[in-house]
Structure 1
Amino acid sequence: MEIKSSTRYFAEMIGTFALVFFGCGAAVVSGVSASGPAGIGLLGIAFAFGLAVLVMCYAIGGISGCHINPAITLAMLTAGKIKAADALGYIIAQCVGAIVAAWVLWTIQKGLPGWQAGEWALGSNGWGEGYGAGYNTASAFIAEAVLTFLFLFVIFGATGKWGNGTTAGVAIGLTLTCIHLFCIPITGTSVNPARSLGPAIFAGGAALSQLWLFIVAPIVGGIAAALVWRAMDKS
């Protein structure tokens, strides 16, 4: 039975909401900045993002394919695996889900006595002086593009004719975990324009002015992966 477009878009919205809410929420509420010894640190944040993707792969993968990322949707469009109209619907739903998740997280954090948003609030992505290890723009762009390329390469491989669909969610989730373990000190790790958009809207300032990189670099990496996979698939 064919699944309605509206159902698939709604699944993408919920999936992206979960990714941003669990991932950014772990960074903000329980991460390295948490008071006391209970902070989960970089490793915990990386697993929060990876596990969020893993569980949503199994929750909505059968409905929408569980893109929950505009870079993935555009890569799938490039690979001919989704129609342009559906790709647009997916991307809008993903952005809405990310924005709503950031708003809910913002609302929760306002209930913490003495909480102030500060620069790059709500787990926003960024780079340069004052962010992470202070990497420059070129390093941030290269990291985001290359890591998105690798992420999509795993997705195409795990879900394609040579992969194992029953374990694809595990492979994809663990890949995102590896990506975060590497990239959190550089950019906070995006590889997903919607994930960056939601927190940046509420953080404003540097997070919003630097948002362009977290839109362009993941899209470049994702489309490159789609082109490479298409060439391999035809060989």
Structure 2
Amino acid sequence: MIKKLLAEGFGTFWLVFGGCGSAIYAAGVPDVGIGYAGVALAFGLTVLTMAFAVGHISGGHFNPAVTLGLVVAGRHPVKDLPAYWGAQIVGAIIAAAGLYLIASGMTGFEGAGGFASNGYGELSPQGYSMTSALVIEIILTAGFLFVILGSTSKGAPAGFGPIAIGLALTLIHLISIPVTNTSVNPARSTGVALFAETAALGQLWLFWVAPLAGAVIGGVLWKLVSTTED
């Protein structure tokens, strides 16, 4: 179990460090910044690479919502859920702390600002409402779980799951970065919110409630349509 938790912790660390790091350091650089599309690709690549690296050890969740969805679908033991969540949250916080330490070393650093945190209303990149944030996070997390469960089922082509999952997360970010800065992952949201200088912590509840609700929906939907015993 220790090896599984270490794999989950490091995998979540990699997701937050790579995905949020690309948003913090590289997205807004004048003329050569990677923009929304680059950040979306970075998040997808973090999951793709770590799913191949440690997926065979822990299952490659890196996300409390994914763990819950797999429990609902009968693909992960419920007794392991608290430990997986703990490892994921710790990994996310360590990654965010590292990102903050690096960012603070930049010439002229005056504070972290939004620090790639998630939000709605004034904290939404394009000013979307709480309702918009809630709906899109639920829908996209449900879709993410559906892809994960389908691409890793016994009837799916063997060995291609991480690619489908990484591309799905890229697509999710391409859709929703303008709305919420994209969560679909409560651990990712929690890690950076702790260092943001905005009201991100006050809005963090939504980025737990919506992804977890979406995960349950995705797990139930997969059980309804699946024709194989996973």
Mapped to 1, the partners of 2:151 and 2:110 lie a distance apart of: 42
Mapped to 2, the partners of 1:208 and 1:14 lie a distance apart of: 23
Name the TM-score, length of structure 1 as normaliser: 0.94
Let me know the Cα RMSD of the aligned residues.
1.3
SS in structure 2 of the partner of residue 135 of structure 1? coil
Taking only the aligned residue pairs, the percentage that are identical comes to 47
Q: Which residue of 2 aligns with 1:11?
A: 7
Q: Which residue of 2 aligns with 1:213?
A: 206
Mapped to 1, the partners of 2:34 and 2:195 lie a distance apart of: 24
Task: Give the alignment partner of residue 91 of structure 2, picking from 85, 97, 102.
Answer: 97
Structure 1 position 51 matched with structure 2 position 60: no
Mapped to 2, the partners of 1:118 and 1:17 lie a distance apart of: 19
Q: Which residue of 2 aligns with 1:202?
A: 195
Structure 1 position 83 matched with structure 2 position 77: yes
Name the TM-score, length of structure 2 as normaliser: 0.96
Task: Give the alignment partner of residue 145 of structure 1, picking from 121, 138, 144.
Answer: 138
Letter of the 1:17 counterpart? F
Distance change (3 Å), C-alpha of 1:118 and 1:103: closer
> Which 4+ runs in 1 deviate beyond 4 A?
none
Deviation (angstroms), 1:219: 0.4
Structure 2: 5+ residue stretches without partners: none
SS in structure 1 of the partner of residue 195 of structure 2? helix
Structure 1: 5+ residue stretches without partners: none
Show CA shifts across 1:111-164 (max 9, x none): 00112335422x111111253110000000000000001111000100012212
Mapped to 1, the partners of 2:50 and 2:174 lie a distance apart of: 20
Task: Give the alignment partner of residue 165 of structure 2, picking from 169, 172, 175.
Answer: 172
Deviation (angstroms), 1:81: 1.6
Task: Give the alignment partner of residue 179 of structure 2, picking from 153, 175, 186.
Answer: 186
SS in structure 1 of the partner of residue 192 of structure 2? helix
Q: Which residue of 1 aligns with 2:127?
A: 134
Q: Which residue of 2 aligns with 1:25?
A: 21
Asked whether the 8 Å contact 2:118–2:181 carries over to 1, the reply is yes
